[in-house]
Structures are given as C-alpha cells and as structure tokens.
Chain A
Amino acid sequence: MIHSLFLINSSGDIFLEKHWKSVVSRSVCDYFFEAQERATEAENVPPVIPTPHHYLLSVYRHKIFFVAVIQTEVPPLFVIEFLHRVVDTFQDYFGVCSEPVIKDNVVVVYEVLEEMLDNGFPLATESNILKELIKPPTILRTVVNTITGSTNVGDQLPTGQLSVVPWRRTGVKYTNNEAYFDVIEEIDAIIDKSGSTITAEIQGVIDACVKLTGMPDLTLSFMNPRLLDDVSFHPCVRFKRWESERILSFIPPDGNFRLLSYHVSAQNLVAIPVYVKHNISFRDSSSLGRFEITVGPKQTMGKIVEGVIVTSQMPKGVLNMSLTPSQGTHTFDPVTKMLSWDVGKINPQKLPSLKGTMSLQAGASKPDENPTINLQFKIQQLAISGLKVNRLDMYGEKYKPFKGIKYMTKAGKFQVRT
C-alpha cells in the first residue's frame, strides 16, 4: 500500500512529506531527481520509477510533483488515481493547488492527508465526507476560531461515512432548491494537411451542481441515450436502471460533482465544427518563409464559435515572424518559438486570418518538421455529439426545485497538421 508521499516543486525541493507507515528517508527521492534531470520537460518524467527497495509513482499537476512511495506490489493505477484525488481535494479545499497555498495551510493539509489514508489504505476520499471531518479554512472561520477557540476539526462521525449513500450527508437544508446540469463535450481531433479528419472523438461529461434539501431522488433521461455506449458513472448512479431503461436514477451528492463522463468513439462520425486553411512554406534558398492561416466554421449547427485561440510551436530555424491578423491579437516568442493568436469570435461573413512572413536563420537548410497548429474554441448551447437531455424528475421530496441544463462544446486536444 502507499507508504509515503513527497511533494516536490519544479526546482527539485521537497516541501512536504507524509508517511503512513514507517518513515522512508527522503533520500529515496534522489532517484526521482535523476529521472527529472534526464527528462527534457517536466511532463516527460516517467510516472513509474523503480529504485532498489521502493517504487516511486508520481503525477505532475499544477507544477508540483506528487511522488508516492510504495514498497510492495500495489496496483499503480490505484496509487495514481489516489494522487489525482489528493490534488483534487487540495484544489477543492483551498481554491488553488500551489506550493505557497499548501505551505500556508500545512496543518490542514496534514490533517486531510491523515484522514485520506490509514496505513496506506484509503479511508475517506469523498470531498463531502472530508469536509465534515476537517472543515476547509475560510477567512470567517479563522477569525471565529481565534476568538472562540473552536477548531477546524469536526467532532461528529461523518454521517455519510457508513450509510447506504455515503456520498450524501444528512440534514441538508436550502431555502432555494436548485439543480443545474452542464453537458460539456470536448473534441479531440487530429486533422491532416489536406483537411481530412484522421481521428476525432468526443469526451463528454455531465457536471452537476445540486443544492436540494433532504434526500431527493432524481431521474434524468435523454432524447438519444443510444449515443452513450461508453460511460463512467458517479457511484450514486443506479447501474441496473441504466442497463435496463437507459435512465439515470440517483440520489445526488450535495454540491458540485461529476455525474457521468462518456466517450463517443472514433467509429461514430464526429462533426468537426471548425476548419483551418493554412499555407506555411519554407524555401531552401531564401531566408524568408510565407505564413498564412485562416480559420472558419464548419459544422456548428448555426451556433457561434468563440474563444478561439490558435497556438503553434514553430521550428527552431524560425528567428522571427512579422504577421498581420485580420482580427484579435497575436504574439510570437522568439525564445520558445511559440506563436499564439487570440482570435476571439469567428464571424462567418468575414473569416479571421493571420498572414505574413517568417524570417529564417540564414544559410540553414529548411526545417525538417512542419509546425502543428493547436486550436482552442468554445461553442455555447451545443453538444456536438447531439446528446440532449429529455427531462429531469425528482422524487422523495415535496418541494419544487429549480432545474437548469446547459450545453457546451470545447476543443480538447484539437490539432491540425501542416
């Protein structure tokens, strides 16, 4: 099971350590530092590192390495999932997860970590339960605590811990009862030079914010549930009901949670909402290259594409770029060779474009690799897969809740090769 946890910042300092069994010397991290040095970028540090007596499993998030030390054969996914959970919990507690914030709240961090694992076994990882055990710091509470001498630590057994619905605390009360569901879809796609789709898939989630009094029992049905053939549910969803009727039936946790995530695979035809026309050419003899890209809407079902940002890692040989955008702003960093163009909204009548020249290293041969264009965008009020919620019903409580459903489509890893 998980032995110890070290938090390491990107400059290689261990700024927090926690041991759940015997103490493991922090020198074990030397193996990690070696790997860190070998990797060109922090993202490339391998997640599993063997050492003579231990195994180091790490995740890299928010510019912090969370390194878990294990000694026996433990499922690595279990450890990595847990580490991500730790990060999520920190974020949930403190708003952001960063080195200064963790240092500021070191005692709470320590208490939380102690609650999350016992002897390496996960104990309480549900945010609802943790918050009942250890209250997250707020300015008000800190002030109150200093005056009254009360504490952050709850002294009651968290009610949900052992009930049939461990994710929901009892005695929830709201004056305004509301339930919001956001259907968010991200398109991961690779588009080749000629504009045809090599692979495209949709990662969708339904995030919920439920503030309902008592023990509401909700059902959510879809117009076209057949789209969802690959889904992962929050534990609250009754799987049998889904299997037989394709209806989501659940007692929701209190507050924000991810109800389900789904995946619409490459085999279904995925609509691509934007296209990029590009003309990037280097010539062998000349020290100038031509650069021109245009972005336009494709299958948007009449919705507006907004928040468009184009980024591209230019080849090393590019010294500088002199470009004119038809709209938005652009930057080029000659050190990292990163081109970034903040386009904004796409107006279908007047397509945004970015044109100009690149100055190349004189005398050098033309670059081997062509830059890949990375695209970000947002489309409100559209789920690109076509998923639609039919209705939301509530049982078990008498009041009438306010319900809301929102759709959004975003670019995930959306890449255009040139």
Chain B
Amino acid sequence: MTDSKYFTTTKKGEIFELKAELNSDKKEKKKEAVKKVIASMTVGKDVSALFPDVVNCMQTDNLELKKLVYLYLMNYAKSQPDMAIMAVNTFVKDCEDPNPLIRALAVRTMGCIRVDKITEYLCEPLRKCLKDEDPYVRKTAAVCVAKLHDINAQLVEDQGFLDTLKDLISDSNPMVVANAVAALSEIAESHPSSNLLDLNPQSINKLLTALNECTEWGQIFILDCLANYTPKDDREAQSICERVTPRLSHANSAVVLSAVKVLMKFMEMLSKDLDYYGTLLKKLAPPLVTLLSAEPELQYVALRNINLIVQKRPEILKHEMKVFFVKYNDPIYVKLEKLDIMIRLASQANIAQVLAELKEYATEVDVDFVRKAVRAIGRCAIKVEQSAERCVSTLLDLIQTKVNYVVQEAIVVIKDIFRKYPNKYESVIATLCENLDSLDEPEARAAMIWIVGEYAERIDNADELLESFLEGFHDESTQVQLQLLTAIVKLFLKKPTETQELVQQVLSLATQDSDNPDLRDRGYIYWRLLSTDPVAAKEVVLAEKPLISEETDLIEPTLLDELICYIGTLASVYHKPPSAFVEGGRGVVHKSLPPRTASNESTESPETAPAGAPSGEQPDVIPSQGDLLGDLLNLDLGPPVSGPPLATSSVQMGAVDLLGGGLDSLIGAPNFVTPPAATAPANLGAPMGSGLSDLFDLTSGVGALSGSYVAPKAIWLPAMKAKGLEILGTFTRQVGSISMDLQLTNKALQVMTDFAIQFNRNSFGLAPAAPLQVHAPLSPNQTVELSLPLSTVGSVMKMEPLNNLQVAVKNNIDVFYFSTLYPLHILFVEDGKMDRQVFLATWKDIPNENEAQFQIRDCPLNAEAVSSRLQSSNIFTVAKRTVEGQDMLYQSLKLTNGIWVLAELRIQPGNPSFTPRSCP
C-alpha cells in the first residue's frame, strides 16, 4: 500500500469527496483524507477550498495528523488569512504543551504562516520559547525570530527580540548558538548598516567554542560569521586560524570552503616570515584537492573558488597541477574550469606536462572544449616565455590535423603569439597561408589578415592573398573588413609600387560602398594620411605596437581581494562582487582584506583602519570645521586686503581660532582642554593641526628646522574608486613655493596614460601652476612620484570646510574626483614678520570678540625651541618677554591672501603647557 493511491482520484467530485472524509468521525479516515489533501498539494493542485475542514482536524493528539495539518496551513494560510486566525488558539495552546517537540513544532509552524494578523499573537509564545528550558525549543525559536523579521521587521525590533537573539549567542548549547548566529546573519543581511553581529574578542571566543560542538550546518554559519571579523593584530589572527584549521578535515565541503575563507582572509594579517604562515599554506592544499573528488556540482563550485585562490596565492597549489587534469567524462562545466586553472598554474617547471595534456584535449570530441584547449596553448606561450617555441610547434601539429575549428582557433592564438614575440616565429607563416581557404569564422579570418598585413614584406604573394579576400569584401563581417583595410594599407606602405591599385580599391570600397561608420571613418583617415603625408602615414600605421600583456585574463587585484572575502558564496562563483548582481543592492557591504598589523605596533592599531571598515570610505571622512570661521572669512573676502590689519580685523579672530584649534588639537598632547573663551568650536581643521603638532614634536627635531613640516602621504584616491588608479599625496611649502607631492600607482591591468589634473575653485585660490607631468605611460603595478607646483592666483570660492580642496584627475580610462584638506601652514608666507610697533598698535586695536584663547598641554619645549620651530613654518616671533617667570612670545604670520594673524604664547617652564593667550 503506497501513497501513490492518493494521486489516482482525479474525478470531478474529488474536493467534495475529500470534504466528506475530512469531516468523518473516524480518526483513521480523517488522517487518510488529510494525506490525500497533502499529496494533491505537493504536486501543485489547488486544494485551498478545504481550508476550514482541514483546520478542524488540527486539535488532535495524533502527532502525525497534527504535522500534516501544519504542513497544509503553512501552504495555504496566506491565501486564507481570515480562516488562519481560527488556528491561532491551538498554536498558543501547543506552545505550552509539556512535550518540547510539540512546543517547538508550534512555534516553528506559526513563524511560517506569513499572515500579518497572526504575527501579533505569535509574539508572546515566541518570547516564552526563546527562554524555554529545553534547548531544542530555544534553537527553533531563534530561527523563528528571523522568520518573523522577514514578515514584519518593525515588530521584531519593537518587541526587543533582536536583543534576546544576541543574548542567545552566549547560550550554553552550541546548537542554539549556531542558530542564533544564522538568524542574526540573515537579519543583518537585510540591514547592512545595522551592527547586529557586533563581534568582539569575547563573542569570538564563544563562537569558536561552539564551532567545535555544533552540527556541520551550524559550523558553516559560524565560520561565515567569523570571516566578517577583523582581528586586532596578527597574534589574534593566528590564534583564530589555529582553532579553525581542524575544520579543514570536515567531510562537509561547505564547511571546508568556509574555513578556507576564514584562513585566506586572516592570513593576510600574518607576516610571511612567520613559521606558522608556511604551515598554514601547507595545510590549505590537501582539502582543496579533496574537494575535487566530490560530486561534479561540488567540484564546479570548488573550482571557481580555487581559481580565485590560485590567483591570490599561487604557492598553495603550485605542486598540484595534476589533479586538474581533465577526465574525458567530466561534465563540460568542470572541464572548462579545470582548463582555466591549469593555465594559471602553468610555469616553466610543469609546462611540458601541461602542453602534452592540452594537445591531448585538442583531439577530444566536444567542440567548445577543444577550442578552449587550443586557446589555452596560446595562453601558455604568452605566459611562459621559455615554452613559446614548444607551444608554437604544438599548434603547428594541430594545424596539420586539418580539423577545421582547431585550425581556426590555432590561427587566432598564433596571432597573439606574434604580438607578444614579434619577428620570432614568422617561419610558420607559410604553413598558416596553406590553410587560408578553410577559414570561415570572422575571428580567424581577421587574425590571418592581420598576420599577412603585419608581415607583408616577407610574404611574396601578400598582395594576391589580400586581393583574394577583397573579392567578397561586402560579405565579410565588420571585424574582417576593418582588418583587411588596415592590412592593405600596411602592405601599400611596405611595397608601394605594386599595390597602388589594390589600396585604391579597398579605400573606395570602405569609404564609398560601406554604410558602416567605423569602416568609413577609418577609410577616410587612411586616405587623407596617404594623400597628404605618406611619411606620417607610415609612422601611424606601422607604429610600434605595445606588447600584449601576459595576464589579460587575470582579475584586477582590488576586485580579487574583495572576492577573496566572498569565498564560498555566489559572488565567488560569478567572480563578481555581490553589488554587481544582488538584487536592489540589498545587503551589499564592500568587504576588504584586513591590513597587516603586527602586535608590537598594536598601540597604534586603533588608528589603522577600524575593523572591517570599507577602505573606500576614507576620502569622504572629512573633519568638520567651525562654521563661524568660514562665515567670518567669507565676509572679508570681498575687498582685497593688503597690509593694515585693522581693515581685516573681523577676519583675524577666525583665522586665529583656526590656528589655535590646529595647534591645540594635534599638538601631540593626548588630552587637551578646549578653552572656554573660544567662540568657535575647537575641532578645527585637522590637517593644519597635524602640521603644527609635528612642529612641536621633539622627535622630528632637526628635520623641522630645515623646512616647513611635511605630513606623510595619505591615500587620497583609493584604487577601488578609480578603476585601479591609486593616488597618495601631501602638501609641502619650500622656499616660498607651495607644491603638492603626489604618488600615482597603477593597480589596474592596463597601461595608463594622458594624465591631467584640475582643482575646483577654493578658499585660497590654489591652482596648479604647471600641468601634471607624467612622462612615461604608467604600466600596471608601477608607481611614479611627482611634485606639482601650486599657485594661489586661482579663483576664490569659500569652501566648507575652509581648507577643502576638490580635485579632478583624468587619465585615458576616466576622470576621477576626490577631495582633500590641505594644511593651512603651506599658506604662511615668508614675509610674515610684522614690525614691532605695528604689532603693538594692531594688538591693541583688536576687538575683544576677535580674540580666542586656549591651552596646549604637555608640550615639552622651551621658548627658543618653539620660536625656531615655528619660524621654520613661517610663524615669526615679533617679541619675547618674561613675566613672572613665564616666557611670553608674540607671534605673527601672514596668509597668502594677505590676512595677518597675531598670537601671544605664554610658556610656563615648570608646567610644560602653553597658553597662547590670543591674538590679533
């Protein structure tokens, strides 16, 4: 007796019959009827009309019947919300049942009934179940919170379920912990900004303990959660790695891959010199290899991830080439992935083996695979220079097979080999020419034409060959037409005497008879070049071509780093960041590998990239600036101010405050007092402050005397935001001129050229005084340092904050924008020393409201040192006197726009603190 009998009732009165059976008095009959209903439901028949009758069967002691009714309810409650209310009472009662299985079942089913009205009744039972004495109930309830959140997020927050869930992370039962983590992760995914899984060393420790004891699925959730944590230093990273490595021996491949993700990510923080680093590398290889003996579907996902791993750390699998050899009955999707990894692992040491394999594959049946194998041979030639010769001869062997698609594919890759090693293998051209007639694919034809054009001078009958193509010019695809046009022009430039007619023919075909604009334009350009200046034409058409890059198919390093954080996820299968395909950007947080932090420098670590913070955000974080200051300055920018400080008095105080704030905020004192007298907020421009702080910094003593302080270069434009261009920079002032020191790094895979820079209008009229000079094209992974002189004669616009500078940088790829803050001290001019008398007069005339006062504490310098240090940054001491054992320094400085700032510094010798009493 089997269940298939439930499917046989297809008569018209089926529903009616079932209804009668459901209302039968006999338990047995009822159960059979419910089974029939469920069976119909599973195959997609609509049995929702029976809702009330089925719900009536719910109050029963028979657990199987109860479960079946629950199954039915979950399926149809949504379509019958009013009816579903009828079931609520039973649910609430079941939640108090003495049998934990029934309590758990009830809370689980209630969560699956996606009806708003029911959720209200769910809250109380759920709250009880979350604190149930039985862990089985608690773990079910944890998942129920996630379900409820999916239906009504607000309700979950209002009821405080999230906090209860967080408490469950410290539960004594590992299964409860795992489910709480899983539920929180799912909720967090819909709230990327919320800090639900706030990980700290204590909670990490709890997770690691639970990791050893919970089920395989729970381990996946916990490992994925761990991967989002950034350890504070390498020691912590290592200890987590040590506790995660046993997971690599798990039978569940998903656990293994999640563990690999955690290790790959945390390895980034370990120093390569560490013994442990090497041990870890060794431990990673075997589990990855083992993944390849699993079912093909698992292999596929594993291979996609291994593809990322070998790009990031080729050393892990460099000896394991053989496991990627293709078996002839692998599914095609596995074959293609294996091939890709074989090329990535190809090196001089194993190239012979690889080539022999690839040649073998090129004789297989599957056309797609054969083509890819032939391409792979070409890629090997380009990747491993020493093997190029052998690759070419292998390709020639393959051409001899005369299998059409093999020949065509081989010709396409030989073209690439010619690009990479020009003038080395042209002896094979004769063989290629023999196969001219069999080429019927545009890509192969275009490749062949390119070869003929490029080596026209060495092919005796080049003109005949090209002419033969010309006959069917209009039937060719655009790719071939363009190539043919160029090839014939090349031929003409090389052998002008014999081919004049041919070139005229092709030019007229391209310009007059074609309606493809690309082709026409190229035709016209060639025509004009040839007719006006043949020498120039030669230079253009026969110009030296840049070599093709070896690793054109590598993933960009920045993207790769991001993808490494997503090992084991869909992103790693697509090789795209989740933002590229997750619907509506829901739950998309950019992840980045943690920076390497050694424990001995951990005192500084709070400043080096906060845990998991997207590095892309850094340029946006700009310290806020006092509003008042900006306003004051703005008021005064109208009339040009030349000398008399009186006229500018309204500005003075703002400027002074700016100076003071800077001095104060970053002078290196760990705690400082913001003066009560200050009228503007003290958290002023940090860049300027940092300049001044270092003026006082004893450790940089001598250097500071020789010139004005230069801040270390900061990242202005991260590579992730600028398609691989990374810009670091700082500002300097040296003997009267301001300059911007830049360091450009190309982290993309293509060469960058045509750099230019421009500033937006800014508060002090800063503008580049010379164009951005990047002499040679910037090739991948290359860095240039250059200094861009700046002038202050540009147009002026008040910025917010005052020292904000918006910069646009252009290259051949795109235009990128970023903004940065420049330190104000680069604007202090050399003739900023005021005459004593003038100083005195001005000082007296400064109205009270323009005066600001504050203290700089813990600055261990005496008056002379301060004076000379400041002078190197063009802040001059006008006078000095000693009152009651305190040194008083009177300082003046002038900004590039002519505004004067005056200051009084009071230095108490015993207590090394400054009281710059104020100013103008």
Contact = CB atoms under 8 A, between A and B. Distances in A.
Contact of A80 (B286, B298, B353): B298
A319 B891 CA distance: 103
A287 B179 CA distance: 68
B325 interface: yes
B296 interface: yes
A76 to B, nearest CB: 5
Most buried by B among A21, A61, A108: A21
B135 to A, nearest CB: 5
Interface string B22-35: 00000110010001
Interface string A39-66: 1000110111010010101111100000
Interface string A1-39: 100000000000011111111110010000000000001
A126 to B, nearest CB: 8
Nearest to B185: A1
A366 to B, nearest CB: 11
Given A77-B298, A146-B1, A157 B99 contact: yes
Interface string A361-382: 0000000111010100000000
B812 interface: no
B298 A121 contact: no
A70 to B, nearest CB: 8
Contact of B42 (A20, A72, A110): A110
A235 B28 CA distance: 41
A180 interface: no
Interface string B339-365: 000000000000001001100100111
B38 to A, nearest CB: 6
| Interface class of chain A by DSSP | mixed
B622 interface: no
B101 A267 contact: no
B28 A149 contact: yes
A413 B327 CA distance: 8
Interface string A124-167: 01100000000000000010001001011111110001101010
Interface stretch (A98-106, A214-222, A272-280, A302-310): A98-106
B3 A14 contact: no
| Interface class of chain B by DSSP | helix
Contacts of B38: 106-107, 110
Nearest to B578: A73
B42 A80 contact: no
A48 B573 contact: yes
Interface stretch (B9-17, B211-219, B731-739): B211-219
A16 B7 CA distance: 12
A230 B2 contact: no
Contact of B570 (A74, A114, A267, A369): A74
Nearest to B140: A118
Given A77-B302, A265-B323, A44 B333 contact: yes
Interface stretch (A197-205, A321-329, A347-355): A197-205
A231 interface: yes
A372 B330 CA distance: 13
A18 B42 contact: yes
B630 to A, nearest CB: 44
Interface stretch (B249-257, B674-682, B751-759): B249-257
Contact of A46 (B295, B300, B364): B300
A230 B289 contact: yes
B328 A372 contact: yes
Contacts of B320: 265-266
B287 interface: yes
Given A16-B42, A50-B574, A267-B319, A43 B296 contact: yes
B96 interface: no
Given A58-B297, A81-B252, A239-B249, A164 B213 contact: yes
A59 B570 CA distance: 16
A369 B75 contact: no
B793 interface: no
Contacts of A122: 215, 217
Contact of B293 (A14, A16, A111, A188): A188
Given A77-B302, A199-B322, A107 B68 contact: yes
Most buried by B among A19, A84, A121, A161: A121
Given A106-B3, A190-B325, A73 B136 contact: no
B425 interface: no
Nearest to A368: B403
A188 B324 CA distance: 12
A76 B253 CA distance: 10
A61 to B, nearest CB: 8
A291 interface: no
A162 B394 CA distance: 62
Interface stretch (B108-116, B232-240, B694-702): B108-116
A177 interface: no
A407 B270 CA distance: 43
Nearest to A412: B293
A72 B189 contact: yes
Contacts of A59: 295, 297
A263 interface: yes
B883 interface: no
Interface stretch (B202-210, B484-492, B581-589): B581-589
B106 interface: no
Interface in B629-667: none
Given A50-B581, A81-B298, A75 B254 contact: yes
B267 interface: no
A229 interface: yes
Most buried by A among B38, B302, B570: B570
B197 to A, nearest CB: 15
B1 A142 contact: yes
B836 to A, nearest CB: 71
Contacts of B28: 146, 149
Contact of B569 (A19, A76, A230): A76
Interface string B118-139: 0000000000000000111000
B329 interface: yes
Contacts of A16: 42-43
B862 to A, nearest CB: 61
A286 B824 CA distance: 91
A48 B300 contact: yes
A119 interface: yes
Contact of B295 (A84, A119, A369): A84
Interface stretch (B143-151, B527-535, B782-790, B795-803): B143-151
B39 A75 contact: no
Contacts of A413: 327, 329
B365 A369 contact: yes
A105 B39 CA distance: 9
A345 interface: no
B400 to A, nearest CB: 12
A190 B329 CA distance: 12
B40 to A, nearest CB: 10
Nearest to B147: A119
A231 B135 CA distance: 32
Contacts of B364: 369
Contacts of A406: none
A330 interface: no
A169 interface: no
Nearest to A229: B286
A108 B574 CA distance: 37
A110 B186 contact: no
B750 interface: no
A258 interface: yes
A299 interface: no
B220 A78 contact: yes
B1 A111 contact: no
Given A155-B63, A199-B325, 17 more contacts: A21-B147, A23-B78, A39-B332, A75-B220, A75-B257, A77-B254, A77-B302, A81-B252, A81-B254, A111-B64, A118-B140, A125-B215, A157-B100, A230-B286, A233-B251, A235-B215, A239-B249
Q: List 9 tightest A-B contacts by C-beta distance, closest first.
A: A230-B286, A151-B64, A104-B2, A153-B64, A47-B297, A77-B254, A122-B217, A199-B322, A78-B254
